[in-house]
Amino acid sequence: MFDQRGARQQQRCGRGAPGSAAARDALVVLLAGLIAGGVRVGDPLLTDSLIAAATSFTEAHLHEPDLAPAMIARALCVSVRTLHRAFATTDETLMAYVRRRRLERARDALRHAATVAQVAERWHFADTSHFRRAYKAQFGHPPRTASNSREAAR
C-alpha cells in the first residue's frame, strides 16, 4: 500500500530528473541537520538545490507557452511562494530568468535564418514590439542587428 501511495505522489508531483535530484539533495541536508540537532528552513543547500531543480526544469520546458511559476512549483512539489523565496537569494526573479533564457534562445534563432516575427512567436512573446523592446533591453541593440549579422556572414 505504501509503495502505491508513494508512486502516486511521485507521479502527481512530476518527479523527473530535476525533481528527484532536488528531493535527494534536500533529504540529505534534512537528515544531516536532524543528526546534528536542527535544520534551518532557509538553509542555503536546500535553496541551492531548489534553484538548480527549477532552472533545470525551466531549461527543459522553455518552449512551452504556459511555463510559469505555478507550473514549475507543481512539478517540483513546492509552493509558488517557496519557489519565489528561493529565487529571492539570486540576482533575478524566476520569471526574469525565464525571460532571459528565452531571449538568449531567440538571439540564437535570429542568427540561423529566422525572422524577428517568427522568433517572437516561437519564444512566446506577446507580440513583435514587446519582443523588440525586451531584446533591446537585454542585449543593448535591436533584434534586427542579430539577423543583419546573419546576412553579412553570407
Helix axis angle, 128-139 to 143-153, nearest 10°:
80
**Residue 144: which pLDDT band, with cuts at 50, 70 and 90?**
confident
The secondary structure of 73-86 as a DSSP string is HHHHTS-HHHHHHH
pLDDT digits (tens, 9 = 90+) for 75-97: 988 889 989 999 999 999 999 99
d(CA 126, CA 121): 8
What percent of the chain lies above the pLDDT cut of 90?
51
Tell me if 67 sits within 8 A of 98, measured CB to CB.
Answer: yes
Nearest to 57 by CA among 86, 85, 15: 15
Q: What rounded mean pLDDT belongs to the chain?
A: 79
Sorted by where each starts, the structural domains of the chain and their CATH numbers stand as 1-90 (no CATH), 95-154 (1.10.10.60)
Residue type at position 2: F
pLDDT digits (tens, 9 = 90+) for 10-44: 555 655 556 666 666 666 666 665 565 544 555 66
